[in-house]
Amino acid sequence: MKLWSYYFEVLEINIDDIDRITASYYKMIELKYATPLMIFQFAKFLQDEGRVKESYKIYEIGLKEFNDSRIRFEIYNNYLVQSIKFNEDKERIRDLFDKCLIELPNELVKPIIVLYSEFEYDNGLIIKAFNIVNDFIMSTSLDPIDLILLLSSKYHNNVDLRQWFEKWLTLKLTKESLMKLLKEFIKFEIANKQYDRVRTLYEYSHSNINYTFKDWEDFELEYGNESTFKKMLRFKTKLKETAADPVGFVMGSSTTSKPSNPDIIDIDM
């Protein structure tokens, strides 16, 4: 295989006969000697020569030749990026995205989901762009916190995001991901000056995970008053008393089954 790669490097550098180079690539594919790298090289060669449509056929050949999911992901990703770059028909690109998402396993498609969303966003379909990512978040068994943070960052000025924060809180998340989600939700509510909602979120955070009180204290110092600060301190004291009450602990633990994974929190809203 290394010899073939070297052969094509020499061929492209020293020979101006495009048809001869192209025929050699096709011969390599016919003999089943093609590697994923050679597929990418051939496609790029055709694109550099202005034969973009033909380069798409090479990606299609690669998808037929290779069954490994990771290799197919790389081919699809390259295929999609180049199709967008060369302004391929939008409906054809959408069909390619949909086909890719059907054929690839969930654990590999996050970058494709993001690319699909960006494609629709750039084409002015803002709601569709949001839904592409959000539908995946709500249906996947994978930890979606990176995608949630992506949506939060991109759509932070949209007040409708609140309803989705509330739905995301119903997902089964690790403690670390839940903390990130709550911090982002709190930041969103502060930006919208919904300070009572912020306090409710802080109470929820401290009741469900080991969330530092410093953030809440800093919030009250900046946005609250003496009354709200004292209310926070009373909540803090009550929480400590509850944690120190062995009877309360036993009663609470007896009504809730322990999750099989101790790092997973099942939120009951």
What pTM, to 2 d.p., does this model score?
A: 0.81
What pLDDT is recorded for position 268? Answer: 44
DSSP labels, the chain: -HHHHHHHHHHHHH---HHHHHHHHHHHHHTT---HHHHHHHHHHHHHTT-HHHHHHHHHHHHHH---HHHHHHHHHHHHHHHHHTT--HHHHHHHHHHHHHHS-GGG-HHHHHHHHHHHHHTT-HHHHHHHHHHHHHH-SS--HHHHHHHHHHTTT-TTHHHHHHHHTTS-EEHHHHHHHHHHHHHHHHHTT-HHHHHHHHHHHHHHS---HHHHHHHHHHH--HHHHHHHHHHHHHHHHHHH-HHHHHHHHHSSPPPSSTTEE----
Dihedral (Cα; 150, 153, 158, 164), 10-degree rounding: 40
What pLDDT is recorded for position 18? Answer: 78
Largest interatomic CA distance in the chain: 85
Which positions ≥6 away from 239 have C-beta within 8 Å?
206, 207
What pLDDT is recorded for position 66? Answer: 95
Q: Mean pLDDT of residues grouped by 10 in the chain (269 residues)?
A: 54 64 83 87 92 96 95 97 96 97 95 97 95 95 94 90 94 92 95 95 87 90 95 90 55 41 43
Domain ranges of the chain: 1-66, 157-269
What pLDDT is recorded for position 34? Answer: 83
pLDDT in tens, 144-166: 999 999 999 999 888 889 999 99
pLDDT in tens, 211-242: 778 999 999 999 999 999 999 999 999 888 87
Return d(Cα 269, Cα 257) in angstroms, integer.
17
